[in-house]
Amino acid sequence: MQLFRKKEKNDNKDLNKEKAPKSETYEMVVKHVKRSALVGLIASAVVVMVATVSVLTPYAVTADGETLCYVRNKENAAQVTRTVIDEYLPEGTTLQAVSMDGDIGIAAASPLKALGVECVSVDDAVVLVKERIENPDEYKAEKADETKIKVADADNKVDNIVITATAMDENTEEQPAEAGENKAVTENAETADTEADCTEPEENDPSITIVSTAEVTESYKAEVEYVQDDSMLAGDSEVQAEGKEGTKVVLRQFTSVNGEVTDTTDIQTDIIEEAEPKVIVKGTLGLPEGEDWKTYEGDPIFNDGEALVKTSLKYLGAPYKYGGYSLTTGIDCVQFIRQMYAKYGISLPNGKNALKHVGTAVSYENAKPGDIICYSNHYAIYMGDGKIVHATSKGGVKTRDNAKFRKIVTIRRIPRS
């Protein structure tokens, strides 16, 4: 019996020895899990705390290192910046780049100020930033006034301090004034110090430069085409074709400073519909030397009798009317000649026999195109080669191959220009 109990005890000891390692491993796992859970809770708490601090920490909106205002958190501060940029972004364009001249930024308030600052809304902060950007001179004036006030207040609190304002050499040390000079010297010093303290170093005024792009659809015109007509007077023109506007899409880059566009550049152009050019016919008869026939708009000059003949031939078939002045409803021989010369800026006298005395007389053998052939009761323009152009009661304005069909009284040459 005793042997049996002893054996049973030994068996129990062996069993406990087998269980012991398993129990220790279990306890280690439990401790590790608890420790991990605790670390996780601490980490979560830290994240929540950081997030809470980030949400609750006021942010300063600054310009040139000076605080303009405070907003409730970093997100609001970022929203202020985004809103200012959006308001300065030209309408209808896509933002490409932003640069700032002068320091406009955001910064977290220090722990000492975090609980005591007064925060404004995003909209109010945007207004303050834009006022600072758009009215730098007023801002500087306000800061100068504030500086003067501060200096004046400080002087009132230190009346007993003796300040010398005497000019000094580089090698001369400043000496305190005598007791009786305190008041006068102090007053002079206040003025000098006030002016000196109000002088601020030069700095760049805050500004926001934005580069943006937009696709712009717009119409365009083709370059005008000119056609030369040597039978038309210089300065005269006629539209042969009106042309047609085309359509294009332009990728345009805009550069703006504080919302005002300062430069545009066309980066790419795609033609949607081709434009058709306007075609204008321009004359060259009587074109002054050195002038461009395409752009000349003045009066032609009479420097070539053949040019005057060409002009006269344009009116072949115009009706005849005794005493008439119109190339459309009727004209006689005298008025026909007068009007042809008038187109070249030359005014000939009126009257039945007046043309027989104008200009210079020439012989028939020396006659040139443009000369006036005077008959006893009729007038014509010499074309050369024995031909004339004239207005006659039989057929209106027409040509004749025989200039001597009547007796010639005189031939008159008008001076060329």
CATH number at residue 338: 3.90.1720.10
User: Is the same domain home to 353 and 271?
Assistant: no
Residue 239 belongs to a domain: yes
Phi, psi of 310 (to 5 degrees): -60, -40
CA dihedral 110, 112, 114, 119 (to 10 degrees): -100
Of 156, 69, 149, 150, give the one whose Cα is nearest residue 104.
Answer: 69
The residue segments making up the domain with residue 239 are: 212-283
* Dmax (CA) of the chain: 184
Together in a domain, 314 and 404: yes
Residue 296 lies in a domain: no
Residue 240 and residue 322 share a domain: no
Torsion of CA 48, 50, 54, 56, to 10 degrees: 60
Please indicate, yes or no, whether residues 142 and 230 belong to a single structural domain of this protein.
no
Instruction: Note the Cα 243 to chain centre separation in Å.
Output: 29
Residue 367 forms part of a structural domain: yes
Within-domain flag for 350: yes
Residue finishing a domain among 197, 225, 243:
197
Q: Is residue 417 a contact partner of residue 384, using CB atoms and an 8 Å limit?
A: no
| Of the residues 129, 164, 197, the one at which a domain ends | 197
Q: From the CB of residue 338, how many other CB atoms can be counted at a distance below 10 Å?
A: 20
Q: How many domains does the chain have?
A: 3
The answer to the question of residue 241 being in a domain is yes
Per-residue pLDDT 10s for the chain (417 aa) are 444 455 555 555 555 555 555 555 656 655 655 565 555 555 554 444 444 445 578 999 988 788 899 999 999 999 999 999 999 999 999 999 998 877 788 889 887 777 778 999 999 999 999 998 888 777 666 655 554 444 333 443 333 323 323 333 444 444 444 444 434 333 443 443 434 344 444 456 788 999 999 999 999 999 999 999 988 999 999 999 999 999 999 999 999 999 999 999 999 999 999 999 999 999 999 999 899 999 999 889 998 899 999 999 999 999 999 999 999 999 999 999 999 999 998 999 998 799 999 999 999 999 999 999 999 999 999 999 999 999 999 999 999 999 999 999 999 999 987
159 found inside a domain? yes
Q: Look at residues 130, 162, 197 and tell me which one is the last residue of a structural domain.
A: 197
